[in-house]
Amino acid sequence: AQSVSQHNHHVILSEAASLELGCNYSYGGTVNLFWYVQYPGQHLQLLLKYFSGDPLVKGIKGFEAEFIKSKFSFNLRKPSVQWSDTAEYFCAVNFYNQGGKLIFGQGTELSVKP
């Protein structure tokens, strides 16, 4: 079955530390990849997406992600986190022939200490 896994359940960082959140998916075919963020008490917002082309994609708020096809991975990075980045982060994958359905990872809760 198609699945998406996120390596870390909860990450705690100090401000200015670098961030990398792992995401792997199960399927080797064509995929569209997404990272969403959910701030406390809010809805999910799109951070960035990858469809094709340059495997390094830049999103909002200084986030970027790299697609490594050979590793079925789409890791999220940010060079220097801020307290306001405290949120839950979800990796999501649209698998070929699945219409618009997104399969989400379990989420990673990021806590940034001021």
The site map against another protein for 83-102 (x = CB under 8 A) is -------x-x-x---xxxxx
Which string of DSSP letters, residue by residue, matches 26-84? S--S-EEEEEEEE-TTS-EEEEEEE-SS-SEEE-GGG-EEEEEGGGTEEEEEESS--GG
Asked if 52 is part of the footprint of another protein (rule: CB under 8 A), the reply reads no
Asked if 67 is part of the footprint of another protein (rule: CB under 8 A), the reply reads no
Choosing from 14, 45, 84, 111, the residue that interacts with another protein (CB under 8 A) is 45
Asked if 24 is part of the footprint of another protein (rule: CB under 8 A), the reply reads no
How do beta strands 10-14 and 108-113 pair?
parallel
**Cα–Cα distance, 49 to 108 (Å, whole number):** 17
The site map against another protein for 25-44 (x = CB under 8 A) is -------x-x-x-----xxx
Positions that interact with another protein (CB under 8 A): 32, 34, 36, 42-46, 49, 51, 90, 92, 94, 98-107
